[in-house]
Amino acid sequence: MRPLGLAAGLALALLAAACGGVSKPPTLAAAAVPYLPSSARTLTVAGLAREAGDPALASELRTWGYRAGEQRYFQGESRRLQVVDSRTLRFGSAGGASTFVSFARAHVNVFLGSFPSLRVLAAGGRRGFLAIGQPCQCHLANPAFLAVLARAGTVTWLEINGPRATVQGLDTLLRQAP
């Protein structure tokens, strides 16, 4: 890149930051689960509302100050974990992040199926909930473990599933999650 082009690009980046541009929030690093392939994507208001099956969530997210979200999704065949879903959502305030956690808890059956067990969870200065989904009746079924926690304006969402998925395994990955 030419020096003039580099300077112009830097100026635009600084202008975007000064005008409230939001960078992508970090997720669990790909190296955290090196035996599973992963991909990252941006989480939009429309996409989150679609996943929750609640079109009204899009306007609620805006009201709660949703700014940006990113997901790293790991999936593959393994004797340990087979799915890891790491998400980081940024809100303009701690209240917005906490409200999203409350929404996720109230609608957890959309994400984990019927009758998940729920309990309060605190980890790494974050507060929220842990949900354990009921495995299907297949003989090789494994429960899913989902933690949704908030600290300040950030929500950490971490779900794991696989033959060796446990609360302790979830906790280990939570310590590495932003």
Which parts of the chain register pLDDT below 50?
1-20
In the Cβ-directed half-sphere of 76, how many Cα atoms lie within 13 Å? 10
Task: Summarize pLDDT for 112-160 with one digit per residue, the tens.
Answer: 888 889 999 999 899 999 999 976 656 567 889 999 999 999 999 999 9
Name the pTM for this structure: 0.85
What pLDDT is recorded for position 78? 93
What pLDDT is recorded for position 136? 64
What pLDDT is recorded for position 137? 58
What pLDDT is recorded for position 147? 97
Domain boundaries, the chain: 22-174
Q: Which CATH number fits domain 22-174: 3.40.1000, 3.40.50, 2.40.160, 1.10.3120?
A: 3.40.1000
